[in-house]
Amino acid sequence: MSFYYQKILIITAPSGAGKTSITKHLMKKFPQLAFSISAATRSPRNNEVNGLDYHFMSEETFQDKIKNKEFAEWEMVYEGKYYGTLKAELERIWANKQIPVLDIDVKGALHVQKQYPINTLSVFIEPPSVAELKKRLESRGTETEQSLTARVNKASYEISFKSHFDKVIVNDELNKACAEAETLVNNFIGQALQEGHKND
Ligand code: 5GP
C-alpha cells in the first residue's frame, strides 16, 4: 500500500480567486498529485477537452449517477449547472498511488472534508477583495453579465466559510500564493498518516 493511500488535497475558493492557477502550479511541482476530473453539466468552453478538464455530461446522465451513488459529492454550483466528484475518479488516482487534487466549490469542499476527514488537507484561496475578484472575472472574459453577477454574489457568501478549512491563502500576488501553497503541500505529502480533522 502506498504511503499516500487515500490522501486528498482540496483547493477551494470563490470563482476567480485564482485557485485554478494555483492548482496548475502545484500539479507541475508535485508528480505525486493528480487532478481529479469532475463531472459537469455545463457546456465546454472553447479550449476545454472532455475527459481532461471535465467529464461533460447531460443532466440526465448526471442524475443517474446521483441515483447510483457514484458521487463523493455533487453540487448545483450555478443555477441549473451540476458539478460533482466521482468516487471512481478518486479510486482511479489512489490506485495509481497518487493524491487526488480537488478544485471544487466551497460547499462541495465542506462535504468532502466531512466525508473524508482523515488525511485530507483543505486549502481556501481568498481573493484580496470582492472588488478585485470582480475585476479578475471581467478580464477573464468568460462570463456573461448575468453569470458575472451570480459569481460575485456567491463569492461574498463563500468567503464567510473560510474558517472551516485547514489553511487560508490570500491571493494578492500569484507567485507568493503559489509559494505558500507549495510549502503546505510539501508538508502534507511528507506527513505520516494522521487522525483527521479535530473540528469536525
Ligand atoms: P467552472 O464552471 O468555472 O469550471 O467551475 C465553476 C465552479 O465549480 C468552480 O468553483 C469549480 O471549482 C467548481 N467545481 C468544479 N468541479 C466541481 C466538483 O466536482 N464539485 C463541486 N462541488 N464543485 C466543482
Averaged confidence pLDDT in the chain: 91
Structure confidence at residue 73 as a pLDDT band (50, 70, 90): very high
Cβ partners under 8 Å of residue 155, min gap 6: 14, 15, 16, 17, 127, 130, 133
* Per-residue model confidence (pLDDT) at position 140: 84
User: For residue 1, is it within any domain?
Assistant: no
Residue owning the nearest CA to atom 1 of ligand 1 = 15
Query: Quick one: what percent of the chain has pLDDT higher than 90?
Result: 71
User: For residue 112, is it within any domain?
Assistant: yes
* Per-residue model confidence (pLDDT) at position 3: 47
Residue owning the nearest CA to atom 7 of ligand 1 = 105
Does residue 182 or residue 5 have the better pLDDT? 182
Q: How many domains does the chain have?
A: 1
User: For residue 83, is it within any domain?
Assistant: yes
3-21 burial code (b ≥16 CB/10 A, e <16): ebebbbbbbbbbbbbbbee
On whether the CB atoms of residues 4 and 101 are closer than 8 A, the answer is no
Residue in this structure with the C-alpha cell 493524491, named with its chain if needed: 99
User: For residue 128, is it within any domain?
Assistant: yes
| Residue 197 CA to ligand 1 centre (angstroms) | 23
pTM equals: 0.89
User: For residue 80, is it within any domain?
Assistant: yes
Structure confidence at residue 175 as a pLDDT band (50, 70, 90): very high
| From 83, 154, 165, mutation site for ligand 1 pocket: most ligand atoms within 8 A of C-beta | 83
User: For residue 3, is it within any domain?
Assistant: no
* Per-residue model confidence (pLDDT) at position 29: 96
CATH number for the domain harbouring residue 100: 3.40.50.300
Residue owning the nearest CA to atom 20 of ligand 1 = 84
User: For residue 2, is it within any domain?
Assistant: no
User: For residue 18, is it within any domain?
Assistant: yes
| Residue 1 CA to ligand 1 centre (angstroms) | 30
Mean pLDDT value of segment 119-148: 90
162-166 contacts at long range (C-beta below 8 A, 24 or more positions apart) = 162/124, 162/126, 164/110, 164/113, 164/199, 165/10, 165/12, 165/109, 165/113, 165/122, 165/123, 165/124, 166/121, 166/122, 166/123, 166/197
Atom of ligand 1 nearest to the CA of 77: 8
Domain extent for 172 = 8-199
